[in-house]
């Protein structure tokens, strides 16, 4: 029995390839279920860290473009996203900037940033009939797990105000190890002609073990430690798609979060070696 909390749950979603926007999958169905649940619980807004936007030096930025465009996505018919209206939440963005600055971050708004599919793919899938007010937090290109964990812990208190915090990245996400031919030749990213490589299965299991068997500070330690896992570099050729897992760990890994564990709720393999695991940590109190 999971401990009850008055704080909103936090999601770590693996967005996978761009085809996850246009094709049906168990993950996509779960994203929509989470969106429905969030709306039923009257969330104030979404605060999301993706995997495609990072800042140099010691900087972190928050999206403050009042009318962002969408960067185009390959292998998806434009009708799946072109008309979807983005809803940037500038007041919450400015609040996040203040909170992050007060915590010592070199943080600023970015008034020209256009949104990328790592975040809007998830938003479209979760909220097909309209985007809630949304704030996007950048990563930092040094990809320090503790830095990203601290971003999450700094914004954690927004959960008490009914904001939904989401990390959009990947559990196993190494583009160099993906087998692309079925997607390039047949527009099919789900074919799985061969089983995944052993390293991918190992790391996928390690993520599940950490997520489901830890809570509070141990969840933070476990997710941080995964970057030293022997198969981490096989599962993630670059660190970018794992950073938002650390953001999630910060957002839901406080002493107060003890007993609030993660659950693997859906999973979709793509391109043989990419594992799109969908985790939710915590639950809605009223649910």
Q: Which residues bind Fe ion (CB under 5 A)?
A: 51, 118
Q: What whole-number distance in Å separates Cα of residue 255 and Cα of residue 140?
A: 26
State in angstroms the smallest separation of the CB of 21 from Fe ion: 11
149: nearest Cα among 242, 59, 284: 242
State in angstroms the smallest separation of the CB of 193 from Fe ion: 23
State in angstroms the smallest separation of the CB of 116 from Fe ion: 8
Q: What whole-number distance in Å separates Cα of residue 158 and Cα of residue 215?
A: 19
Beta strand ranges found along the chain (DSSP E): 10-14, 45-55, 59-63, 106-110, 134-140, 163-169, 262-270, 274-281
Longest dimension (CA), the chain: 51
> For Fe ion, which is the closer residue by CB, 53 or 163?
53
Structural contact between residues 65 and 112, judged by C-beta atoms closer than 8 angstroms: yes
> For Fe ion, which is the closer residue by CB, 118 or 270?
118
> For Fe ion, which is the closer residue by CB, 51 or 260?
51
DSSP 59-94: EEEEE--SS--B---TTS-GGGTTTPPP-B-HHHHH
State in angstroms the smallest separation of the CB of 121 from Fe ion: 9
State in angstroms the smallest separation of the CB of 141 from Fe ion: 15
Neighbours of 170 (CB within 10 A): 28
CA 250 to chain centre: 13
> For Fe ion, which is the closer residue by CB, 156 or 173?
173
> For Fe ion, which is the closer residue by CB, 51 or 281?
51
Q: What whole-number distance in Å separates Cα of residue 170 and Cα of residue 12?
A: 8
State in angstroms the smallest separation of the CB of 168 from Fe ion: 8
State in angstroms the smallest separation of the CB of 18 from Fe ion: 8
Antiparallel, parallel or unpaired: β 10-14 and 59-63:
unpaired
> For Fe ion, which is the closer residue by CB, 159 or 241?
241
> For Fe ion, which is the closer residue by CB, 51 or 211?
51
């Amino acid at each position: 029995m999971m401990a009850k909390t008055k704080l909103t749950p936090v999601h770590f979603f693996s967005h996978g390839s761009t085809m996850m926007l246009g094709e049906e999958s168990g993950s996509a169905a779960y994203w929509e279920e989470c969106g429905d649940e969030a709306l039923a619980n009257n969330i104030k807004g979404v605060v999301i860290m993706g995997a495609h936007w990072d800042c140099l030096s010691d900087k972190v930025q928050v999206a403050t473009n009042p009318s962002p465009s969408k960067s185009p996505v390959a292998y998806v018919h434009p009708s799946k996203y072109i008309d979807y209206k983005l809803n940037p939440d500038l007041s919450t963005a400015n609040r996040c900037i203040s909170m992050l600055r007060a915590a010592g971050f070199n943080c600023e708004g970015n008034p020209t940033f256009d949104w990328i599919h790592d975040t809007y793919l998830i938003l479209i899938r979760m909220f097909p009939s309209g985007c809630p007010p949304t704030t996007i937090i950048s990563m930092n290109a040094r990809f320090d797990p503790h830095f990203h964990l601290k971003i999450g812990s700094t914004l954690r208190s927004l959960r008490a105000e009914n904001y939904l915090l989401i990390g959009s990245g990947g559990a196993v996400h190494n583009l160099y190890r993906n087998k692309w031919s079925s997607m390039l030749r047949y527009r099919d990213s789900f074919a799985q002609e061969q089983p995944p490589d052993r390293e991918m299965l190992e790391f996928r299991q390690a993520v599940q073990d950490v997520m489901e068997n830890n809570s509070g500070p141990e969840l933070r330690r476990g997710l941080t430690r995964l970057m030293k896992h022997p198969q981490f570099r096989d599962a993630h050729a670059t660190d970018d798609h794992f950073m938002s897992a650390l953001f999630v760990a910060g957002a839901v890994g406080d002493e107060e979060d003890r007993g609030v564990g993660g659950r693997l709720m859906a999973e979709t393999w793509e391109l043989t070696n990419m594992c799109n695991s969908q985790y939710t940590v915590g639950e809605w109190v009223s649910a």
